[in-house]
């Protein structure tokens, strides 16, 4: 499956490169392409920061049967390889578990796959959600900013970090996960120990605020000139 996702990503980039009218691409990856590694350096006093420079370890994902994370990691890496040295600007958005309108009625297969390894993510401070509207806005902002070269690389995207087992139980209810899977994953997690990791979306925050300022300035310039 990971190989197929990587091949699909390569073909998307190749199609962009061969289409003369396309010179910018915003590729949707996943936060799971950033968070899974065998050994993170860890200072017990402070959480390790997880940002856009972090990549999931494909061997670790394979050994732990984290197939969704493996596929997303392989696909994003393939996209970057295919775009390297080509006449195409590439940005990748790495959203957390996507939620939002219709979340309860959606097919939950991908969301359940995302939550493989959720117990570890919850206890380590790595389980997060992103409203679909936030994810969509991040894609639009990134695409617009690529026009003046103020966007580039990867962007982590999330709204909320799930820290308590009861929040996780609510996810289970919304997803109608079979057999109490989420509740079982939450057992032993969410205790009083400080999280080992801290997610960081500062880069996306700068991009979003910059574009909002630009829109605000443009509106008032047109309205009052």
At 168 the pLDDT is: 87
Residue 147 pLDDT level (bands cut at 50, 70, 90): very high
Average pLDDT over residues 100-119: 79
- Domain 2-213, CATH among 3.40.630.10, 3.30.565.10, 3.90.1640.10, 3.40.50.720: 3.40.50.720
Helix (H, G, I), strand (E, B) or coil at 132: helix
Q: Which residue has the tokens 């402070």?
A: 46
DSSP 179: G
Chain segment 13-56, per-residue pLDDT in tens: 999 999 999 999 999 999 999 999 886 665 566 788 999 999 99
Judge whether residue 193 has pLDDT over 80: no
DSSP 223: H
Judge whether residue 138 has pLDDT over 60: yes
Q: What is the DSSP code string of 21-77?
A: T--EEEEE--THHHH--S----BTTBPEEE-TT----HHHHHHTT-HHHHHHHHHHH
Torsion angle (degrees, nearest 10) of CA 137, 78, 22, 32: 0
Judge whether residue 190 has pLDDT over 60: no
Q: What six digits make up the tokens of 75?
A: 């696909």
Burial of 28 (0-12, 13-18, 19+ CB in 10 A): middle
Domain ranges of the chain: 2-213
At 173 the pLDDT is: 78
Which residues 6+ apart lie within 8 Å of 208 measured at CB?
137, 138, 141
CA distance 99 to 187: 23
Please give the order of strands across the beta sheet that includes 24-28.
24-28, 89-95, 153-157
Quote the Cα angle for 53-167-68, to 5°.
45
Judge whether residue 160 has pLDDT over 60: yes
At 30 the pLDDT is: 98
Q: Taking all residues of the chain, what is their mean pLDDT, rounded to a whole number?
A: 85
Q: Which of 72, 77, 201, 203 is catalytic?
A: 72
At 43 the pLDDT is: 58
**128-131 and 160-161 as β-strands: parallel, antiparallel, unpaired?**
antiparallel
At 224 the pLDDT is: 44
Contacts 24+ apart (CB under 8 A), 164-167: 164/190, 165/122, 165/189, 165/190
Average pLDDT over residues 169-176: 79
pTM: 0.86
Active site residue 72: yes
């Amino acid at each position: 499956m990971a190989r197929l996702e990587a091949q699909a990503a390569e073909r998307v980039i190749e199609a962009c490169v061969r289409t003369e009218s396309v010179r910018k691409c915003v590729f949707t990856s996943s936060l799971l392409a950033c968070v899974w590694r065998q050994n993170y350096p860890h200072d017990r006093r402070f959480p390790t920061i997880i940002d856009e420079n972090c990549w999931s370890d494909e061997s670790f994902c394979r050994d732990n049967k984290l197939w969704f994370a493996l596929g997303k990691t392989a696909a994003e890496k393939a996209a970057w390889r295919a775009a390297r040295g080509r006449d195409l600007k590439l940005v990748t958005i790495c959203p957390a578990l996507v939620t939002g309108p219709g979340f309860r009625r959606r097919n939950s297969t991908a969301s359940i796959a995302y939550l493989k390894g959720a117990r570890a993510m919850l206890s380590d401070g790595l389980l997060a959600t992103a409203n679909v509207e936030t994810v969509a806005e991040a894609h639009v902002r990134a695409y617009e900013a690529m026009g003046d070269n103020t966007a580039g690389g990867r962007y982590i995207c999330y709204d909320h970090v799930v820290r308590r087992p009861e929040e996780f139980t609510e996810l289970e209810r919304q997803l109608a996960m079979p057999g109490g899977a989420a509740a079982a994953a939450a057992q032993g997690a969410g205790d009083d120990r400080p999280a080992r990791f801290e997610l960081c979306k500062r880069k996306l925050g700068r991009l979003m605020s910059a574009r909002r300022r630009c829109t605000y300035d443009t509106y008032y310039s047109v309205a009052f000139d």
